Amino acid sequence: MSSSDVDLEAEKYEKHREAGEILAQVREEAAERVEVGTTQLEVAEYAEDRIRELGGEPAFPVNISVDEEAAHATPAADDDTEFGEEMVNLDIGVHIDGWIADTAITVDLSGNPDLKEASEEALQAAIEMVEPGVETGDIGAEIESVIDGYGYNPVVNLTGHGLDQYQQHVSPNIPNRAVSQGVELEVGDVVAIEPFATDGTGKVTEGNDEEIFALEREGSVRDRQARKALEQITEEFKTLPFAQRWLDVPRAEMALRRLKMNNIVHGYPVLKEDDGKLVSQKEHTLIVTEDGCEVTTESN
């Protein structure tokens, strides 16, 4: 089947669209709740519950990354951390039967509107380039150029990505800088483009905190709590990331530790900007069409 024969009305694309529609609404509602004095957990649980109310499921735990954090931060079950005068990135995902929409927005409480604008403008410029045959490296060059124009740096070791059923990160990768070896986008590709801008040098490294996990492989464990946790993970979350606070087992931390020791699950350490500088982020999911693209996570 040639790429021009892709049926963009097929059920999987309808589910991507439905997930995107729910997500656009939840993103706006959650962003409005980010204010000084509100807890991170309130916002995360509000968004996750609202996704379910509207008929979707969270594709991953709501990521709430603050200041130098770029990704993989989510509050623990007993976390009472409040927002201060900070730069806050909300990264939220929804799936319908495993078909995913992924979006992110920066809420700036820190007084750095230009940094927020840099990632927004870069995303808009990238979306305008998308069509069949465009190279991902050229999209990265455009993102880099826009962020550079604001006097900031893109985060070079984080990329946009393809989305597949129950798979949150598949090819093609969409870089946030110019690269010579890109791939051509094709009709029917579903991709998330997510520029990150920073006033640091533009690299992230892993911190020590880990609250998000995903199934690595099937396996068996002797410990009863770990077995119970594994049952819930394989039935409910499959290969999608989940939060420790989502597990309905006593001593979830211990159960997860056992599963990690057996290489059955892996964790996602929080990613932080190397220089401890601020990071902004903006992300949309889109479907590549014959004459451009359809953004599934745009607000109506």
Give the number of other CB atoms < 10 A from CB of residue 201. 12
Whether 127 and 193 have beta carbons less than 8 Å apart is answered as yes
| 136 phi, psi to nearest 5 deg | -60, -30
Widest distance between CA atoms in the chain: 56
What average pLDDT does the chain have? 96
4 pLDDT band, cuts 50/70/90, is: low
Return the amino acid letter for 267: G
Task: Flag whether pLDDT at 1 surpasses 50.
Answer: no
Task: Flag whether pLDDT at 5 surpasses 90.
Answer: no
How does DSSP classify residue 194?
A: -
Enumerate the H helices of 172-244 as residue ranges: 224-232
Active site residues: 91, 102, 161, 169, 194, 283
Residues 26-71 pLDDT 10s:
999 999 999 999 999 999 999 999 999 999 999 999 999 999 999 9
What is the per-residue pLDDT for 300?
76
Residues 212-228 pLDDT 10s:
999 999 999 999 999 99
Residues 178-214 pLDDT 10s:
998 899 999 999 999 999 999 999 999 999 999 999 9
Whether 108 and 280 have beta carbons less than 8 Å apart is answered as yes
Give the number of other CB atoms < 10 A from CB of residue 142. 18
Rounded-to-integer distance, Cα 116 and Cα 226, Å = 41
SS3 content of the chain, % helix, strand, coil (to 5): 35, 30, 35
What is the per-residue pLDDT for 148?
98
Residues 137-156 pLDDT 10s:
999 999 999 999 999 999 99
- Angle formed at CA 23 by CA 146 and CA 82, multiple of 5 degrees: 80
Rounded-to-integer distance, Cα 47 and Cα 168, Å = 19
Whether 85 and 37 have beta carbons less than 8 Å apart is answered as no
Task: Flag whether pLDDT at 173 surpasses 70.
Answer: yes
